[in-house]
């Protein structure tokens, strides 16, 4: 009889990783971050178990996107939010979003690659995004994400 391995809560070890987003492609960076948050990089990965690690992203304002000059994603990709009132739909292009809140662009891209349920919302709390190179998590000794 074969028994499948199911990790216990106290057996899970969590690491801290740091990523410099300067010059990185938004989608490819978000894929790498989502993989680490889910824990798929570990050999003991089990679906439905939160095995992931913490990820710190610095220099969020320096990300790049693909697209030609005439049809750039910086101008065509839109972010929407609604105030809840009639006529309260607000739109922002990726260019405006990177100028004002660069962390929200990365957080939104990573959220699109995580499960949209209770577990995904919990995993997203392990993502820390900063617009500049400074961050308050030096005490955790983050190692660079390969």
Which structural domain, as residue segments, surrounds residue 30?
9-64+99-144
Tell me the HSE value of 94 on the side-chain side, using a 13 A CA sphere: 21
Number of domains within the chain: 1
DSSP type of residue 126: T
Does residue 87 fall inside a structural domain? no
Question: Is residue 16 one of the residues assigned to a domain?
Answer: yes
* Distance separating alpha carbons of residues 93 and 114, to the nearest angstrom: 23
Residue 77 located in a structural domain: no
Classified as helix, coil or strand, 80 is strand
Residue 75 within a domain? no
Considering the domain boundaries, does residue 85 fall inside one? Answer: no
pTM summary value: 0.90
| Secondary structure letter of residue 11 according to DSSP | G
4 domain residue, yes or no: no
Q: What is the pLDDT of residue 87?
A: 97
* Residue 136 maps to a domain: yes
Q: Is residue 93 part of a domain?
A: no
Q: Mean pLDDT for the chain?
A: 93
pLDDT at 93: 95
Q: Tens digits of per-residue pLDDT, 44-94?
A: 898 889 999 999 999 999 999 987 777 788 999 999 999 999 999 999 999
In degrees, to the nearest 5, what angle opens at C-alpha 106 toward C-alphas 103 and 107? 80
The CATH number linked to 110 is 3.90.1180.10
């Amino acid at each position: 009889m074969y028994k499948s391995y199911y990790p216990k809560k106290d057996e899970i070890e969590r690491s801290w990783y740091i990523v410099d987003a300067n010059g990185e492609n938004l989608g490819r960076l978000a894929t790498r971050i989502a993989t680490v948050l889910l824990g798929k990089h570990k050999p003991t990965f089990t679906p439905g178990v939160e095995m992931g690690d913490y990820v710190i992203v610095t220099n969020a304002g320096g990300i790049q996107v693909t697209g030609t000059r005439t049809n750039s994603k910086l101008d065509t990709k839109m972010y929407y939010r609604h105030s809840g009132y009639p006529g309260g739909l607000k739109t922002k292009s990726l260019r405006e979003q990177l100028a004002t809140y660069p962390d929200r662009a990365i957080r939104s891209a990573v959220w699109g690659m995580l499960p949209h349920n209770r577990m995904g919302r919990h995993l997203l709390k392990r993502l820390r995004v900063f617009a500049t190179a400074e961050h308050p998590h030096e005490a955790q000794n983050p190692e660079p994400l390969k």
